A = this chain, B = another copy of it.
Amino acid sequence: MPVTKIVLGENEIPTSWYNVLPDLPEPLPPILHPATKEPTILPPPLFPRSLDQQESSQERYIEIPEEVQDIYKMWRPTYLHRAYRLEKALDTPAKIFYKYEGTSPAGSHKLNTSVAQAYYNKKEGVKRLATETGAGQWGSALAMGCQLFDLECKVYMVRVSYEQKPYRRIMMETWGANVVSSPSEDTEIGRKIRKEDPDCSGSLGIAISEAVEDAATRDDTMYSLGSVLNHVLMHQTIIGQEAKKQLEKADAYPDIIIGCIGGGSNFAGVFLPFVKDKLDGRKLSIICVEPEACPTVTKGPYTWDFGDVAGMAPIAKMYTLGHTFVPPRIHAGGLRYHGMAPIVSHLNKLGIIETRAEHQVPVFKSAVMFARAEGILPAPEPAHAIKAVVDEALKCKESGEAKTILLALSGHGHFDLGAYDEYLSGKLEDYEYPKELVEEALKQLPEVK
């Protein structure tokens, strides 16, 4: 068997992030202020200046600060694997590569931006960051980022996860974060919701509103978001740039790149460094995979909507199921967001990337097949992408084409084994697309001229 992993040295880690904005064939619509609905920057009471500058920068490459590069070296470069055993199990002529981010201390790609955000906040004198987390991937990444830069970290964790998945909470606390169950008693909106509904199990939208309120009402605190925004996607391009170098070393170029999208940051981080090639004429399919239970891009309109449930976050042009929509409780918590990154939405609208939706039972079937062939137990989110990889590889088997497929494998499923148990014992069920709920939520869209 030839080379199984393509290994880079530390000196081959990219030293700049790639910013796609100047390369877009049409400019990205601006974000709008939630109250005035006029074009705005990232609101200064929430974000430090340097991140706002990155948000709309027209520089193609932005140098990664040395302190951030040093921290990336704690786990980067990550390996690019060739999935020989999966190819064999599928009996496909396709060449499958996967870029695996699960070996980072927090277990996913999220650290790539949390460390950068902690750095810029620290540099601008911020003492404390507030954020939300669902199942805990983002919260734990920010907790570690803050710990490394000696910042306080406050995490509003959706109550149902706080109670059912204590391990991620403990991980955040081990890294020094203060974690509360959301809705909490620590914010006005939290107290209001608890008063109205003491049994409220929380949602990502509520937790975002709590974190935004926390940051907006404290001088020493900024807000931090783990996906969706342009600067977050840009920080993740470290992944795709590494993957590109590694594929070059393997003398390969992808015909198809596949990843899952929730807020969009992991997959954009992988595919954005390849997009320019496609705009320059290279034949390349970029396939986003989202859950059937929360099919933002495949079923939602491309329109203006708030980023959070309370309407305190900026308004963005994006695919959305409505900011008040609460998706069914599929196991891929990271894909349960009503909206989508403006950059991903824009590229999808322009036809540069495409999107499909998958149900969780076949997704877990593919995840188990992957685990048995490749060893790694994928998180439920990238398992959606694995389902599409399997489908594309089987198409190759039928057509005899030896296509090269690159899979964005964003993290491990060590804290999601309950979901594997449900699947293996035949108890896992699919949720149909909740059409009425979405129709209701879409009535709440903000009016934008």
- Choose from B3, B375, B421 the contact partner of A144 (Cβ within 8 Å): B375
A70 at the interface (CB under 8 A from B): yes
Taking a contact as CB atoms under 8 Å apart, the answer to whether A174 and B368 are in contact is yes
A-side interface residues, number (CB < 8 Å): 45
This chain: how many copies in the complex? 2
Taking a contact as CB atoms under 8 Å apart, the answer to whether A170 and B103 are in contact is no
With A1-B70, A375-B75 in contact, is A170–B420 under 8 Å at CB?
A: yes
A424 at the interface (CB under 8 A from B): yes
- Choose from B4, B5, B73, B171 the contact partner of A417 (Cβ within 8 Å): B171
Proximity string of chain A (375-419) to chain B, C-beta cutoff 8 Å, 1 when within and 0 when not: 111000000000000000000000000000000000000110110
Proximity string of chain A (360-385) to chain B, C-beta cutoff 8 Å, 1 when within and 0 when not: 00000000100110111100000000
Shortest Cβ gap from A332 to chain B (Å) = 17
A166 at the interface (CB under 8 A from B): yes
A253 at the interface (CB under 8 A from B): no
Known: A3-B73, A174-B417. 7 other contacts (CB 8 A): A4-B73, A5-B74, A167-B417, A173-B424, A174-B368, A174-B372, A176-B372
Shortest Cβ gap from A323 to chain B (Å) = 33
**A70 to chain B: closest residue by CB:** B1
Q: Which residues of B contact A377 (CB under 8 A)?
A: 105, 171, 174
A7 and B8 CA atoms in complex are apart in Å by 8
A175 at the interface (CB under 8 A from B): yes
Shortest Cβ gap from A374 to chain B (Å) = 7
Q: Which residues of B contact A418 (CB under 8 A)?
A: 166-167, 170
- What would 13 A/B residue contacts be, using CB atoms closer than 8 Å? A1-B70, A1-B73, A4-B70, A4-B73, A5-B10, A7-B9, A105-B375, A106-B375, A147-B372, A148-B375, A166-B417, A173-B424, A176-B372
A81 at the interface (CB under 8 A from B): yes
In residues 69-96 of chain A, which contact B (Cβ within 8 Å)? 70, 73-75, 77, 81, 85
Shortest Cβ gap from A241 to chain B (Å) = 17
Taking a contact as CB atoms under 8 Å apart, the answer to whether A7 and B4 are in contact is no
A421 and B174 CA atoms in complex are apart in Å by 8
Q: Which residues of B contact A176 (CB under 8 A)?
A: 372
Proximity string of chain A (19-35) to chain B, C-beta cutoff 8 Å, 1 when within and 0 when not: 00000000000000000
A305 and B48 CA atoms in complex are apart in Å by 65
Taking a contact as CB atoms under 8 Å apart, the answer to whether B73 and A421 are in contact is no
Q: Which residues of B contact A105 (CB under 8 A)?
A: 374-377
Shortest Cβ gap from A427 to chain B (Å) = 13
Q: Which residues of B contact A417 (CB under 8 A)?
A: 166-167, 170-171, 174
Q: Which residues of B contact A75 (CB under 8 A)?
A: 375
A3 and B72 CA atoms in complex are apart in Å by 12
**A143 to chain B: closest residue by CB:** B372
Taking a contact as CB atoms under 8 Å apart, the answer to whether B10 and A175 are in contact is no
A411 and B350 CA atoms in complex are apart in Å by 46
**A7 to chain B: closest residue by CB:** B9
Q: Which residues of B contact A85 (CB under 8 A)?
A: 148
A8 and B9 CA atoms in complex are apart in Å by 8
Proximity string of chain A (96-127) to chain B, C-beta cutoff 8 Å, 1 when within and 0 when not: 00000001111100000000000000000000
A11 and B290 CA atoms in complex are apart in Å by 38
A259 and B448 CA atoms in complex are apart in Å by 63
Shortest Cβ gap from A141 to chain B (Å) = 10
Proximity string of chain A (232-275) to chain B, C-beta cutoff 8 Å, 1 when within and 0 when not: 00000000000000000000000000000000000000000000
